[in-house]
Structure 1
Amino acid sequence: MSHLYLTKDHEIFRASLRKFLEKEAYPFYDQWEEDRMIPRSFWLKMGEQGFLCPDIDETYGGSGVDWGFSVVINEELERVGSGLVGVSLHNDIVVPYITSYGTEDQKLRWLPKCATGENITAIAMTEPGTGSDLANIKTTAKLDGDNYILNGQKTFITNGIQSDLILVACKTDSVVVPKHKGVSLLIVERDAIGFSRGRKLNKIGLHCQDTAELIFEDCIVPKENLIGEEGKGFLYLMEKLQQERLLVAIGAQIASEVMLQMTIDYVKSREVFGQVVSKFQNTQFKIVEMLTDIELGRSFLDQLIADHMEGKDIVTKVSMAKWKLTDIAKNIADECLQLHGGYGYMEEYEIARRYRDIPVARIYAGTNEIMKTIIAKNIGL
């Protein structure tokens, strides 16, 4: 189907990206899964071809194009595998904090290498005892002369092992009321004194996407690494979560489309009791039900993307999309695995990986229960 926000230029870009991924990603993805890491060489190749941070200004190494190009990138990366979510996080979650709230000096220092892949970014919000409740994070940063002294731990950090720039949510004021006014954002660079990486976490899925614990022990962060203003970090996070949740919805939609197509291909070739599986009425009904959910989800999602690109407030609807499309994707993963029969449980079939990878989308970027809470609040309940 045609998309509201895409032009011929976007489709030319998509064709180029697909050709690149067919050469540089698809043949190696299974090995990346085994290695539990996407090599930095892939990031550098992405940057060399202009597939990192395309929407940042040309002054800082980007192409200055509209966000539709980022949507294309996110869709095509998800088609390869959900483990490439770290690239999406870099392009469309972390870097936008620098472009939106950073100083000119910060942009000149960091953005060019973000666009080339020399700088891999991460965002550190979640702590061992704090997930969605960001106002109650325990990591602190105290100003001491020209530096902040950062102390605390973060966990479940995407790109945690390879990251060169980490956007850290911390408390610069632990006594202010309300608590969220004490939250600030600092960029911690990989060689910062007092910064170390803990365990590389072993996850059920997303095996090639590195996830880690981060530790800050009297970590020295120059005060010029403060993003925006002190005490405004919580507001910045809330403003950017709309796009983050939209990205999760996009990934879930594409995963659903991919899983259904591979299942249609499979049931049309697999024979049971003397006929292909696709000829059984139960199979046909299941396929039709999934296809209907996917088509309805795509229509809703495309309108949301168009609205987001126009700068509209879509917090309520993007919360709906995030929870509903990730729930649909999880259900489709289950139905598709079932239709593959015993082969669906075998690692050589892609549906097994998809089945592992998709459930976490219902948790990160705010759990689906949090999404429902946001919707309820926004409609006056």
Structure 2
Amino acid sequence: MDLTADQQDFRDLLRSFVDREIVPVAREWEQSGRYPTEIVAGLGRMGLFGITVPEEYGGLDLDPVSFALVFEEIARGWMGIAGILGSHSLACRMIATHGTDEQKQRYLPDLATGQRRTGIGLTEPDAGTDLQGIRTTARRDGDHYVVSGTKTWITNARHADPLPVLVKTDPSATPAHRGMSVLLVEADTPGFTVTRDIAKLGYKGTESCEVVLDEATVPVSALLGGVEGRGMQQVLSALEWGRVNIASRSVGIAQRALDEALAYARQRQAFGRPIAEFQAVQLTLATIGTRLQAARLMAWWAADAVRRGRADGETGMAKIFCSEVALDAAIDAMKVHGGYGYSTEFEVERLYRDAILMSIGEGTNDVLRTVVARSLVDGTTVVGR
């Protein structure tokens, strides 16, 4: 598929921002553990915190393909920055799609500008991809819920206000998803604590935290959509966009891997000539480039499928394929660099560390293969038409 003229112009704008504001500082800031405050401010100035917020609330309300372009370009510069924007955007999408009028009016205008930021509280120490296995409960007590549980690996946790948190309002429900709801938990909620930052191999620049809700008192008005038992459906509708997000981040990583491998191969001399002239290196570069372009087209295809409606199979396929392309591209780029690929002085080792997460986040690839298989068997996804 081809991009429209508006999408091409938007990509050019994003690319310029990334090359100017992110690429020059990413390696240094990532290694020092510095929070990218200035970059986050730049995202706000560009309106990117509002990419999934309707225009009536001050957002950009991007189509899914333009949404994909945002994450490809930002991840090309620094995948961790894409994480800051990714969790925020999915939460905004949930509120915009499922929130009450009061919830939309209260939160979306400030979320669109970045004055407020957010994330999604799903994963728990004993429940990741299997969200029906969560243990966090919300017990109704008059005009409040009393919430108890622990969430982990929560991106933006220290900046989220509110944080949508998946809970069980009816732990005895069968099947479990019928008793699950989402609560919009504000940062100053009594009993809500961000306890620690989790040390990570990659995905630096944004925090990943453990969050504890210890008898936290959350008003009933914070129930997303105002109706209990809709939480799983609300979350799954956002995670379709999330898989486009991860697929596109993967494409960005693979693109940067190709860029770095090409640049190094052109300037690195061996036996009196650039290593780009050696067939073994050329075969590696050709493989990276070919698979990268296939991944990009698959990410756009999946994004366009989201525009048309439910797309579990398409987004699952894209997330699986693109994430595996990203990791292969990072490894092959390290091989082109030889020993220097293992050095923290070069970009490719960071790309490798970031790429690994892409096959885990938003559902592990093995679990997503079962999702894709079900969509093929029941006919909701048709390949070749």
- TM-score computed with the length of structure 1 as normaliser: 0.93
Q: Which secondary structure does the structure 2 equivalent of 1:187 belong to?
A: strand
Is 1:304 aligned to 2:305, yes or no?
no
Deviation at 1:41, TM superposition (A): 4.8
Aligned to 1:277: 275
Aligned to 2:230: 232
Aligned to 1:245: 243
C-alpha spacing 1:378/1:14, structure 2 compared with 1 (3 Å): closer
Percentage of identical aligned residues: 32
| Cα distance in 2 for residues equivalent to 1:153 and 1:170 | 10
Query: 2:143 corresponds to which letter in structure 1?
Result: D
Deviation at 1:254, TM superposition (A): 1.8
Aligned to 2:381: none
| Cα distance in 1 for residues equivalent to 2:96 and 2:189 | 22
Conserved? CA contact 1:122–1:157, under 8 Å: yes
Q: Deviations over 1:75-129 (max 9, x none)?
A: 2211211111333324531110000000111111111111111211110111111
Aligned to 1:320: 317
How many residue pairs match? The answer is: 377
| Cα distance in 2 for residues equivalent to 1:299 and 1:266 | 26
C-alpha spacing 1:295/1:28, structure 2 compared with 1 (3 Å): closer
Is 1:161 aligned to 2:167, yes or no?
no
Match of 1:339 among 331, 336, 339: 336
Q: Deviations over 1:248-303 (max 9, x none)?
A: 11111121122012101111111112222112211111111222212222222222
C-alpha spacing 1:37/1:184, structure 2 compared with 1 (3 Å): farther
Is 1:114 aligned to 2:111, yes or no?
yes
Query: 2:233 corresponds to which letter in structure 1?
Result: L
Q: How does 1:174-323 map to 2 (within 5 A)?
A: 174-228=171-225, 229-309=227-307, 311-323=308-320
C-alpha spacing 1:41/1:108, structure 2 compared with 1 (3 Å): farther
Superposition RMSD in Å: 1.9
Deviation at 1:19, TM superposition (A): 3.5
| Cα distance in 2 for residues equivalent to 1:298 and 1:180 | 34
Conserved? CA contact 1:44–1:118, under 8 Å: no
Deviation at 1:304, TM superposition (A): 2.2
| Cα distance in 2 for residues equivalent to 1:107 and 1:159 | 20
Is 1:355 aligned to 2:352, yes or no?
yes
Conserved? CA contact 1:53–1:91, under 8 Å: no
Conserved? CA contact 1:90–1:120, under 8 Å: no
Is 1:375 aligned to 2:341, yes or no?
no
Aligned to 2:4: 7
Query: 1:362 corresponds to which letter in structure 2?
Result: S
C-alpha spacing 1:35/1:125, structure 2 compared with 1 (3 Å): same
Structure 1 unaligned segments of length 5 or more: list them: none
Q: How does 1:36-51 map to 2 (within 5 A)?
A: 36-51=33-48
Q: Which secondary structure does the structure 2 equivalent of 1:306 belong to?
A: helix
C-alpha spacing 1:60/1:149, structure 2 compared with 1 (3 Å): same
Q: How does 1:79-90 map to 2 (within 5 A)?
A: 79-90=76-87
Match of 2:99 among 102, 113, 138: 102
Conserved? CA contact 1:154–1:214, under 8 Å: yes
